[in-house]
């Protein structure tokens, strides 16, 4: 046709004529879960585990995890709305993941060492750094606003691996086609995309609760014994997460 029209794409003979009919729950679920289990999700997984390991109050795993994932949700909603196109390029993500991988390994090493010895990993630090460490500035970074901001920013570097389904939703939204279908499907896509991390957060919370009850069982009525068991179980918990962080970081560096 000589008239100007918005073209979404071409389909095969067996495909529905209306592109909105391709947005079935099974198709969107497949695209979202494929994205969720890709290597692009490793930065989100690593950062989420680092927050849990660094937290002094691991009783709030679910709360902190949900705040972090809320930031991720906002990024993906804005992306579907047409923002952050620059992050579709692989180069920024490649540079960021290399930096994050190295930093994550360095940050996870103390969690491994703490299980075997309470002595600090790095000795003979300058007095200024020791004083700063005593103030524990990391807890500022683990506050709600910072967790939300980290989720918002880090998720930008996962956009390059967006599935064709998400890119299709983005194109339809930009072309103002079927928003009554596109918007709900976008929310559903993001939910399915984040579902593995949501499940992980609740599983880690359950494990943490079991370790807490185990400490009371082993310590009995002796409060000091209970506290010793709690500290030991926290070290074991963080050790396991530290191993996962290091292995995930190595995998992220080599893929």
Q: What is the pLDDT of residues 151-161, one digit of tens each?
A: 999 999 999 98
Distance CA 23, CA 43 (A): 28
How much of the chain exceeds pLDDT 70, in percent? 82
| Res 100 pLDDT > 90 | yes
* Confidence category of residue 74, pLDDT binned at 50, 70, 90: very high
Which of 38-42, 113-117, 153-157, 228-232 is predicted least confidently? Answer: 113-117
pLDDT value, residue 1 = 45
What DSSP element (H or E) covers 194? helix 179-219
pLDDT value, residue 190 = 95
| Res 179 pLDDT > 90 | no
Q: What are the start-end ranges of the H helices in the chain?
A: 25-36, 42-54, 61-80, 90-113, 127-134, 138-141, 144-154, 164-174, 179-219, 223-254
User: Which contacts of 9-18 are long-range, i.e. CB under 8 A and separated by 24 or more positions?
Assistant: 9/168, 9/171
CB 72 within 8 A of CB 152: yes
Mean pLDDT across the stretch 136-163? 85
HSE (side-chain half, CA atoms, 13 Å) at 35: 26
pLDDT value, residue 215 = 83
In order of 10, 69, 77, 133, the CA distances from 155 in angstroms are 30, 9, 11, 28
In order of 60, 79, 200, 228, the CA distances from 190 in angstroms are 23, 11, 16, 41
pLDDT value, residue 125 = 52
């Amino acid at each position: 046709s000589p008239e100007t029209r918005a073209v979404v794409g071409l389909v095969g003979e067996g495909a529905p004529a209306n592109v909105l009919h391709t947005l079935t729950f099974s198709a969107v679920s497949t695209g979202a879960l494929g994205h969720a289990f890709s290597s692009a999700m490793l930065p989100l997984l690593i950062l989420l585990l680092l927050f849990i390991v660094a937290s002094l109050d691991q009783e709030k795993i679910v709360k902190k995890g949900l705040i972090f994932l809320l930031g991720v949700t906002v990024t993906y909603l804005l992306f579907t709305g047409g923002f952050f196109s620059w992050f579709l390029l692989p180069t920024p993500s490649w540079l960021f993941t290399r930096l994050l991988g190295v930093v994550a390994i360095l940050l996870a090493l103390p969690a491994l060492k703490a299980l075997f010895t309470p002595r600090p990993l790095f000795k003979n630090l300058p007095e200024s750094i020791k004083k700063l460490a005593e103030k524990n500035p990391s807890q500022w970074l683990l506050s709600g606003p910072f967790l939300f901001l980290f989720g918002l920013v880090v998720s930008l570097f996962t956009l390059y691996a967006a599935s064709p389904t998400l890119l299709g939703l983005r194109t339809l939204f930009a072309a103002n086609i079927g928003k009554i279908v596109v918007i709900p499907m976008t929310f559903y896509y993001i939910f399915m995309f984040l579902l593995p991390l949501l499940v992980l957060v609740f599983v880690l919370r359950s494990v943490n609760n079991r370790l807490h009850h185990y400490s009371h069982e082993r310590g009995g009525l002796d409060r000091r014994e209970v506290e010793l068991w709690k500290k030991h179980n926290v070290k074991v918990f963080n050790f396991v997460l530290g191993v996962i962080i290091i292995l995930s970081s190595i995998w992220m560096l080599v893929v």
